[in-house]
Amino acid sequence: MSVVSRTIILLLVEGFYEHRRRPPSDWKELYQLAVVELDPAKLPQRITEARNAILNKVAETVTKARDYHESQELTDALNGLRVLHQEHQRRVQPFGEPRQRIG
């Protein structure tokens, strides 16, 4: 393997781990983390964090002219989180875990 190839691989790996160390800040990133969360114990918190970030983005852009595409993305993300939460509640209910209300 050439030195250039090794350097590129090293930079990609370092970037991957750096990305994982820093806390997510973008609403899209928080939404994606909620959607791919596999741990049922962590899922409610992920949903709450994503929902709050989306609502903050909506509030932030109320005074600004927002394009239709961004509005649609925010609406779709909120709807996706609602469905994800409902599915999570349906899965944990038979096991006697208490339901948690989000937001």
pLDDT digits (tens, 9 = 90+) for 4-48: 666 666 666 666 555 555 666 789 999 999 999 988 899 999 999
Phi/psi at 37 (5° precision): -65, 125
CA 72/CA 32 separation, integer angstroms: 16
Give the percent of the chain with pLDDT over 90: 35
Q: Which residues contact 77 (CB under 8 A, 6 or more apart)?
A: 27, 28, 31, 50, 54
Single-letter code of the amino acid located at 84: L
73-78 contacts: CB < 8 A, separation 24 or more? 73/28, 74/27, 77/27, 77/28, 77/31, 77/50, 78/51, 78/54
Q: What rounded mean pLDDT belongs to the chain?
A: 79
Band the pLDDT of 92: cuts 50, 70, 90: confident
What is residue 68's predicted lDDT score, i.e. its pLDDT?
A: 76
Q: Where are the domains of the chain?
A: 26-95
Assigned token pair, 99:
């339901």
Predicted TM-score (pTM) of the model is 0.61
